[in-house]
Amino acid sequence: MIIYITKELKRHAPFTACGAATGIVIMSIMIFCNISPKISYTAFYILHPLHVILSALATTAMYRLHTHSKLWVTILIGYTGSIGIATISDAIIPYIGAYLLGIKIPLIIPFIAKWWISLFAFVGIIIGYWRPTTKFPHAGHVLLSTWASLFNIMQYQIMIAGWMFPFIFLFLFLAVWLPCCTSDIIYPLLFVKR
């Protein structure tokens, strides 16, 4: 299992780096054009729920492709794998990254702040249960997670200095690479018997 996980993480690193690079480009455009933080707030609350859908879809589909478990077990794995890990990816890691860079932003837990985000997890679970596919949902999941993490930081009126860019790239990469691969691949396979 460890060999498989390492192989998957290596395979996903280049794509995740490309996603993080798109985040840096978006951030540069936002800073250069002086775009209002309100747009980032709106973008976050559009992208995070979409991230939750694709995360739930990919997690549920991966589990369904490898087992014929009871429906309630599939729902539980799809929900915890998407809501829990999307929160780590889009909220907690960006908060830690911002804190380490001296950027003060509040810690929000999106599915608590906006109760309706949980409904998006159930949409993804239903789709993943009936049409288990993992390729497109995982690719979309990586990009949406990158952008949601970025907009979570950018929704506050903050000053970003040039020296912070490489570190923000690193945090965007880590916010997506470990949690999203964990959610879509590792987490559901932990519950497969063989």
pTM summary value: 0.87
| pLDDT the model gives residue 66 | 81
Q: Tell me the DSSP string of the chain.
A: -HHHHHHHHHHHHHHHHHHHHHHHHHHHHHHHTT--HHHHHHHHHHHHHHHHHHHHHHHHHHHHHH----HHHHHHHHHIIIIIHHHIIIIIHHHHHHHHTT-------HHHHSTTHHHHHHHHHHHHHHS---HHHHHHHHHHHHHHHHHHHHTS-----GGGHHHHHHHHHHHHHHHHHIIIIIHHHTT---
Q: Please tell me the distance from the alpha carbon of residue 174 to that of residue 180, in angstroms, as a whole number.
A: 9
| pLDDT the model gives residue 96 | 93
From first to last of the 194 residues of the chain, give the pLDDT tens digit.
Answer: 677 777 777 877 888 898 899 999 999 999 889 888 899 999 999 999 999 998 899 889 888 888 887 899 999 999 998 998 889 989 999 999 999 998 888 999 999 999 999 999 999 999 999 987 766 656 677 788 889 999 998 988 778 888 899 999 999 898 888 887 777 777 887 777 76
